[in-house]
Chain A
Amino acid sequence: MDIKSQLESWHPKLKGKDYNFYKVTGDFNCIAFTLDIFDGWMWTNTTLWPHETIPRNSGVDGFKRLYEIYGYVPCIDGSYEPGFEKIAFFTKDGYPTHASKQFGKIWKSKLGPSVILEHQLDWISGYSEDDYGDVEFFMKRKIQY
């Protein structure tokens, strides 16, 4: 299966949409990508997780605290605010599933082993088998130049 077909298989709402994707080689997951970490997997059970300050069993709240450590504060929505970068954190049936990061007026996600997807948030949300559920919270921080 080619990458485009694979992406649309995971997220059916991508079909017919004007999305972009490109391959990357770094070994990182979606949460790491939103934190500009390109050599590590960030999840409550990984070696990179700051377990000294955030317990591994802290669930969705643990991820909020994680983003706070990296300078993010809660915000109302994912609308574009010049000078700020935002993240959208997804849950499905109460469980963390994914995070995307805003770059200007587009959102980017690390998907699968080697792909960055440029998309709208609702194109990867939903409840088909591999969709990510819904956005649970948004957070933002000033862009660090």
Chain B
Amino acid sequence: MISKFNEFVDNSFSNKIISLIEDSENVNISDPEIISQNDSYRQVVSFGEKSIPYIVERGKYLWNIALMEITGIEPIGKKSSEIVNFWKNWAKENGY
């Protein structure tokens, strides 16, 4: 019973954060800082470490600000692919 409840909570959280992530990405704005101020983006950041696996999984530069805010780490790289790979490696090394 408890495990089913936990599964329900997990699925509910997954659905919610994925929906917020998709909302955050669905913008016609080119300034990442402006995007990061949107309500949906702020909600994703507010989940803290729990959001890390989900936003790293997206593999998009857009989530660099969120990851820097949550972890306090500044990535090394310039291109999108470099930044995305930095976070993927960091997440793997840190057990996410």
Contacts and interface: CB of A to CB of B under 8 A. Distances in A.
Interface of A: 6, 10-11, 26-31, 39-41, 43, 45-48, 96-99, 110-113, 130
Contact of B30 (A11, A29, A39, A47): A29
13 contacts: A11-B28, A27-B61, A29-B30, A30-B30, A41-B32, A41-B62, A45-B31, A47-B75, A48-B78, A97-B30, A98-B28, A112-B26, A112-B28
Nearest to A131: B28
Contact of A39 (B27, B29, B80): B80
Contacts of B78: 40, 47-48
A113 B80 contact: no
Contact of A27 (B30, B75, B77, B81): B81
A45 B32 contact: yes
Contacts, number: 63
Contacts of A47: 64, 75, 77-79, 82-83
B93 interface: no
A131 to B, nearest CB: 9
B45 to A, nearest CB: 16
Interface of B: 25-33, 59-62, 64, 75, 77-84
Nearest to B59: A27
Given A27-B60, A27-B80, A41-B32, 9 more contacts: A27-B84, A31-B30, A40-B61, A40-B80, A43-B32, A47-B83, A99-B30, A112-B25, A113-B62
A5 to B, nearest CB: 12
Given A27-B60, A47-B64, A113-B60, A10 B30 contact: no
B61 to A, nearest CB: 5
Nearest to A11: B28
Contacts of B83: 47
